[in-house]
Amino acid sequence: MRKDEKNTNLMNEKIDIKDTNGKEILEEIIEGLSTQMEELKIQYEDNGYKIEENEKCIESLINEDDLEFRIFSPRSSSFIYKDKIEAMKKENEFLLEENEILQNKICDLSDKCNDCKEALKKMEEEKNILEYREDGENARSKLLSADLSEDNMISYIFSEELERKNILNEIREYSIHNLYNLRNEIDDCCELINYDSSTVKLQLDSML
């Protein structure tokens, strides 16, 4: 079974938020998708470098051909580098088509990766909320069963409320951190596309 098929099968499984293995499953999927994206990005960039190299070589051959024509004109054959130039142009056409396919695959993997990260974030938040509720229930049970004076009761309630506020602040900070990481992921994808600004906009629109 290929890695992408394995990841797809894992994503199609219903993951219980309370399942202790759910986090590990999502992290495994994210890691697999990220690895595939990195491999495709490297291939995409290599194709881009080759296209640029071919374009420079074509320009150089055309200039060289024109210079020889001016020096040795009239000559028996024109465009002595024609076949070589045509071959490089065809290679560039193929590489551009391949890069378009790679870009679509990268966008698709990025969407799946973001979905998994969002699910992981929700799983963590749900876990924190459940723990928070359980802590609250335990605190109330303790309070009802405790033999405390009025002053100690007030002090105890205050400390428990302060602790709950701290937990909520931690959950909020965690969510903000995840959103920041999500923005960085989008920025990383945008850096791949350095040919056409309209393509960048289309990719961003598809990710929102």
For residue 117, which of 40, 202, 207 has the smallest C-alpha distance?
207
The three-state secondary structure class of 193 is coil
Label residues 29-65 b or e (16+ Cβ within 10 Å = b).
bbebbbebbeebbeebeebbeebeebeeebeebeeeb
**Predicted pLDDT of residue 124:** 77
Under-50 pLDDT residues of the chain: 1-18, 70-71, 76-78, 148, 193, 195
**Predicted pLDDT of residue 116:** 84
Half-sphere exposure of 95 (CA within 13 A, CB side): 19
**Predicted pLDDT of residue 9:** 46
**Predicted pLDDT of residue 83:** 86
**Predicted pLDDT of residue 95:** 95
**Predicted pLDDT of residue 54:** 94
DSSP conformational letter for 195: S
**Predicted pLDDT of residue 61:** 84
CB 117 within 8 A of CB 182: yes
Whole-angstrom distance, CA of residue 36 vs CA of residue 6: 12
C-beta atoms surrounding 163 within 10 Å:
14
- CA dihedral 101→104→109→114, nearest 10 degrees, is 170
Contacts for 98 with CB less than 8 Å, ≥ 6 apart: 47
**Predicted pLDDT of residue 76:** 44
